[in-house]
A and B are shown apart, each in its own frame.
Chain A
Amino acid sequence: MKYVIMFTDSPESYADVSAERHKEIYQRVWDWFRVNDAAISDSGAQLQPVSTATTVRSGPDGPVVADGPFTEAKEVVGGFSVIDVADLDAAIALVKTWPEFDLPGIGVEIRPMVTDYSQFE
């Protein structure tokens, strides 16, 4: 099954992380993608910081453009990947090895992708 996994972090996640530690985590993230290459498709992305976000929202007089992310939530999406694994347990097992979990305030959301569009016909 195909899942999108969304990597989120919080302001506290990298608050006390030294430049060296940051580099070390980044290296492990890099390795993680290499090791799990077979399950991960090419269509993922790491995102620029949330300060670069622009949101277009529906308004009474048409779409409204505003600075900032969708919500006021503390957790922000930092990137996403598409994985193809047997089932949710396999997805969970893979996600549990995500190196950033050593830090506080890290979350990874797993969502199945719609692959059968007949339900919308």
Chain B
Amino acid sequence: MEGAAASDAVLGRIVREDSGRIVAALTRSFGDLDVAEEAVAAAVEEALREWRVRGVPPNPGAWLTQTARHDALDRIRRERRFREKLAVIGVDEPAPAPTEPDERLPLLFGCCHPAIAPDARVALTLRAVCGLTTAQIARALLVPQATLAQRIVRAKRKIAATGIPLRIPEGVERLERLDLVLTVVSVMYSQAHLTADAGAAADRDLADDALWLARVVAAALPREAEAHGLLSLLLFHRSREDARAVDGELVLLADQDRDRWDAALLDEARYQLERAALLRRPGRWQLHAAIAACHADAASAAETDWFQVLTLYDMLLGYDPSPIVRLNRAVALAEVDGAEAALREVDGLARALDAFHLWHAVRAHLLRLLGRVAEADAADLRALELTANDAERRIIEARLTGGR
């Protein structure tokens, strides 16, 4: 059934591009995110069946919107007091014109509200804004489907019951809330890497969705420097993808074949970082992107400007003094001030990061540089115990057996 594969591909594109918009529009019409979101999910399922049999309709986006709208009406009618509700919402009136530049943005800010539990923010965003099915999200986040479905339902109920507005916040509130949105997008991207081995071929690549979402946010909020900063960061990461994962094996930054970095994505990443800088509102995502740019600018790992990297990490600590940032900074510190200074810094993070496999892996790397092989092996063994990712495990194992 080649027609099926073709219609599935079209549907995949339409879902990503349009489902968030339709959820937003229906939420506005019916005043109920839960109904809107369930209706769009049902319409997507119907499209999957219908389009395989009858082919893709001439205007697939409009088809999906109409089908979802009818489904939402059915849902509302099925509710016990549908007469009152119909009277209140004036069902046949067209939805009022959106006042926001991109109506997915208010929806996104609602899904990433601080009153929603952090792990639910990612799940709800993937479902309501990106249009992933609950099964796809469960596989991507390595969570049992029932648990994930519960998490999404609870979050949707909380939005409705507690009156969380689907709105782009104004003023000083905007920056704080935008950072929560950007964090969700970033977590989404990192999650794709964590679970790269776990996904079936039919699954959506979460990294693609995250990159797409970062573009949507930056396009809708062109004056927000950090939105461009995060987009730039994800583009830098994405540009290395072909060099980072080779035949299912993970290649560390220092060992990557830099000719395999995607030049077009690198250009776009640099352009986004420049756009952000022109707005003169520095922030942590721009600094992360600037660090990625340092690596991108070096023709080889040996030519990396580590002093610049270290300086940027020092600035980053001003925005985000978390142990993870300090651990990453220590890697740059080793290159500038030597492994001994870096190891002191890393050992100072023991309490915070003892359960984090990369803390042990970085320690092992530094201990090896200092010739303390037995301690390095012990640290690598601990990292091995703690990592859940097969590709990372193979890198550490190779280091344990060969790289002495």
Contacts and interface: CB of A to CB of B under 8 A. Distances in A.
Interface of A: 1, 86-89, 91-93, 110-112, 118
Interface in B168-195: 169, 173
Contact of B167 (A1, A89, A93, A118): A89
Contacts of B351: none
Q: Which of B161, B163, B165, B167 gathers most chain A CB within 10 Å?
A: B163
Contacts of B163: 1, 86-88, 91, 112
Interface of B: 80-81, 113, 115, 161-165, 167, 169, 173
A89 to B, nearest CB: 5
Nearest to A85: B163
Contacts, number: 27
Contact of B164 (A88, A93, A111, A118): A88
Nearest to A96: B173
A87 B161 contact: no
Contacts of B81: 118
Contact of B165 (A87, A110, A111, A118): A87
Contacts of A91: 163
Contacts of B80: 118
Contacts of B161: 112
Contacts of A87: 163-165
Contacts of B169: 89
Nearest to A89: B165
A92 B167 CA distance: 14
B162 A88 contact: yes
Nearest to B169: A89
Contacts of B173: 89, 93
Q: Which of A87, A93, A110, A118 gathers most chain B CB within 10 Å?
A: A87
A44 B169 CA distance: 29
15 contacts: A1-B163, A86-B163, A87-B163, A87-B165, A88-B113, A88-B115, A88-B163, A88-B165, A91-B163, A92-B115, A110-B162, A112-B161, A112-B162, A118-B80, A118-B81
B399 to A, nearest CB: 46
A117 B167 CA distance: 27
B178 to A, nearest CB: 14
Contacts of A88: 113, 115, 162-165
Contacts of A112: 161-163
Q: Which 4 A-B residue pairings sit nearest by Cβ, starting from the closest?
A: A87-B165, A87-B163, A1-B163, A88-B163
B357 to A, nearest CB: 34
